[in-house]
Amino acid sequence: MRDWQLPFLFLPLWVWLFVLPTALALLCAFLPYQMRPILAPFWRILDRIYVGSGAVAACFMVLILMLIVGQMVSRWTGQVFPGGTEFAGYAMACTSFFAMAYALTQGAHIRVSILLQLNSFTKLWLDAFAMLISAITATYFARYAIKTNILSEMLNDRTQGLDQVPEWVLTTVTMLGTWPWEWGSLWAKGGGSDLVFTPVWLPQIAMSIGTVLLAVAIWDHLYRLLIARGSQIKGEIVE
């Protein structure tokens, strides 16, 4: 599991995850006017991705409501809703992780700013330092979230509850991580409608995607902070 030194495109993994993003932050700090036109097109794309992740989180929140209502109806009618509690838990996890990046951009995360009010110097550079540490921490978290996802798939870890999913659902999701010429063999092996216990890697995908988006969002707003010389995270004022 220790693969920090493994080469990826001729460079170790830790260089790609920490050194190069930090170097880009230094360029934004010392060459803000030159870096703005380079990064501005990416900002427009990333803003749409953040909004999209927030919309996905909202959909999973609605799914939680539907699952709870479904369990209530099943009790009233004397029916059994197998796996309803587990699926609601998965939907809650998806809501939390998909919403993290969008919540950051909307100022919904708790940020202690008492030291940022001292003067303009501390307001900029302490904020930049805090965001740098946050970005490194989030990147570290995202890397291990993905490794956890991969390890669960390698071990074929399955849930121990009553939740089961059709086999074709797993095949459909697996297609996203394989080459197109492998899809035929995937459907030949697991394209049926039989119910199987939910593999742990399936709900963990939301954790991997959400943590990666959060890390990208923090690095992104660090660059915006250094270029604009002011935080671009504007929280809503609650009266």
Q: What are 93-136's pLDDT values in tens digits?
A: 999 999 999 999 988 887 777 766 777 777 888 889 999 999 99
Decide: 194 and 166 in contact? Cβ < 8 Å.
Answer: yes
Residue 234 in any domain: the answer is no
User: Could you give the CA distance from residue 235 to residue 172 in angstroms, rounded to a whole number?
Assistant: 38
Decide: 128 and 222 in contact? Cβ < 8 Å.
Answer: yes
For residue 186, the model assigns a pLDDT of: 81
Cα distances from 95 to residues 35, 90, 98, 117, 147, in angstroms, run 34, 9, 6, 33, 21
Residue 70 in any domain: the answer is yes
User: Could you give the CA distance from residue 133 to residue 222 in angstroms, rounded to a whole number?
Assistant: 10
Could you say which residues of the chain have pLDDT below 50? Answer: 1, 237-239
102 and 189 fall within a common domain: no
φ, ψ at 45 (rounded to 5°): -70, -45
178 and 77 fall within a common domain: no
117 and 224 fall within a common domain: yes
Residue among 121, 131, 133 nearest 229 (CA): 121
96 and 52 fall within a common domain: yes
Counting the structural domains of the chain, the total is 2
β-pair partners for 165: 196
Residue 207 in any domain: the answer is yes
Its domain, for residue 127, covers: 16-159+202-228
Residue 33 in any domain: the answer is yes
How many C-beta atoms surround the C-beta of residue 134 within 10 A?
19
152 and 169 fall within a common domain: no
Residue 143 in any domain: the answer is yes
For residue 1, the model assigns a pLDDT of: 46
116 and 180 fall within a common domain: no
Residue 149 in any domain: the answer is yes
Residue 235 in any domain: the answer is no
Query: Which structure tokens are listed for 186?
Result: 């995937």
For residue 238, the model assigns a pLDDT of: 46
145 and 171 fall within a common domain: no
